[in-house]
Amino acid sequence: MMWTRRSLLFGGLVSVGAVALQKPVVAAAPSYFAGTSTDNGVAFRSTNFAKIEKKWHRQVVKYFSDEPIGTVVVDTTHHFLYLIMENKTAIRYGVGVGREGFKWYGRATIDRKALWPRWTPPPEMRNRHPELPESVDGGSPSNPLGPRAMYLLRDGVDTGYRFHGTLEPGSIGRDASSGCIRMFNEDAIDLYQRCPIGTAVQVLPHIADQAQNAAQARQPLSAE
């Protein structure tokens, strides 16, 4: 059989097509990390905010609330955490909250803070996931608390819930945790610096709609 240039070219294209059919192209997942940062001598992966929807970025917004300045208010429905500031403003952070069956609401205070905290999964979590380790050292790349943890207590009793960083930036804006409030690692560091021991916390099903209605009732201000 005589092989011509045309037949060779055609045969090559057929081979390439066959390979393409055998190995379909899968779109790559967005890269939620970009480079590394160092905090208190510990290196960690930096959040790639270029891949994060802008509404989840930390920002100052107009916000009306009867809570005192310095209070942290969590809107679990809309996945926002607000740190109330002066002049009817707040710093708004995108957060991940408890998935169905793990949500909680109420008041608490930040009565303990930890830098690069050690993670010890509670017994009930280990019962659900026996493959979990007994603990993970602070600063470990597999520690789900990230660089900071703020422990929420009620009347001096640990609620078991925390504000903390995350290994999964893509979970911000979702119901994803076992009740704790997840934040981008950079945001957890920022909030940690702004909230002293004793900071009041209120976790609600939703408050963004109420805040918007209050703002409209007072004056026509933009939410951002």
pLDDT digit string (tens) for 67-99? 999 999 999 999 999 999 999 999 999 999 987
What pLDDT score was predicted for residue 33? 95
CATH 2.40.440.10 holds for 56-218:
yes
Q: How confident is the model at residue 102 (pLDDT cuts 50, 70, 90)?
A: low
Domain ranges of the chain: 56-218
Asked about 195 being catalytic, the answer comes back as no
Asked about 180 being catalytic, the answer comes back as yes
Which residues are paired to 43 by β-bridges?
Answer: 38
Active-site hit among 57, 78, 79, 180:
180
CA distance 40 to 4: 67
Active-site hit among 78, 79, 164, 195:
164
pLDDT tens across 128-177, in order? 888 888 889 999 999 999 999 999 999 999 998 999 999 999 999 999 88
Task: Tell me the three state secondary structure of residue 96.
Answer: strand
pLDDT tens across 104-115, in order? 789 999 999 999
What pLDDT score was predicted for residue 129? 83
CA distance 167 to 183: 10
pTM score, whole prediction: 0.78
